[in-house]
Copies of this chain bind each other. A is one copy, B any other.
Amino acid sequence: MSDSLNELIEEFAQLPGIGRKSAQRLAMYILKLPREEVMKIAQALINVKEKMKYCSKCWNFSETDPCPICSSPRRDKTIICVVEEPSDILAIERTNEYRGLYHVLGGSLSPLEGIGPDDLKVNELLSRIKSDVQEIILALSADIEGEATTIYLSRLLKPLGIRVTRIARGIPIGGDLEFADEATLVRALEARVPI
């Protein structure tokens, strides 16, 4: 096959979750798209890289600094939800339930991988805690590193007199009790609520 088609297949195949066959199907789809459509996709790729910076307050990706969430007058500035990655913010924003601010750590503590508090935006989080912040919600991963980071941050934040909470662990909605792992089941029992 020809070079530019192969190059595009190679580029697609390097993206996460896209195998060789999907890459070929995508490349064939691109070939058949109108020229303007392909240009739009290419421009969208370039735009993201040219325009997106970090917000210097919450460390989310943003075209503006501060980001739309940090600068919105409609967000509750007394609550900060701490997450590992910008993609976690997308997931929480999809729920349309949370109206507070965010703080992106940029990962979680991992002694094995040599990631300590100085590699995360921990100091940046501490410096955001002024008189108007009343609660910090820790929404970190349910793995060992996420747990360790949750414990580390709660020990750091509690002496400052702020309410520190974490998101609930439990049986997912629609999840079958039979197939829940033991650790989740223990957490779900511990966190039982009166009905």
Contacts and interface: CB of A to CB of B under 8 A. Distances in A.
Contact of A24 (B27, B30, B35, B87): B87
Interface in A116-139: none
Given A15-B26, A15-B29, A22-B17, A5 B49 contact: no
A162 interface: no
Interface residues of A, number: 50
B45 A38 contact: yes
A87 B45 contact: no
A10 B47 CA distance: 13
Contacts of A28: 85-87, 90
Contact of A2 (B7, B35, B46, B68): B68
Nearest to A38: B49
Contacts of A52: 2, 4-5, 31
A59 interface: no
B49 A30 contact: yes
Contacts of A43: 42
A187 to B, nearest CB: 25
A44 B11 contact: yes
B41 A4 contact: no
Contacts of A16: 25-26, 29
Interface string A47-80: 1111110000000011110011000000000000
24 contacts: A1-B68, A1-B89, A1-B90, A2-B51, A2-B62, A2-B67, A3-B63, A4-B50, A4-B63, A7-B44, A7-B48, A8-B44, A8-B47, A15-B26, A16-B29, A17-B25, A28-B85, A28-B87, A30-B45, A31-B49, A38-B45, A38-B46, A39-B49, A45-B45
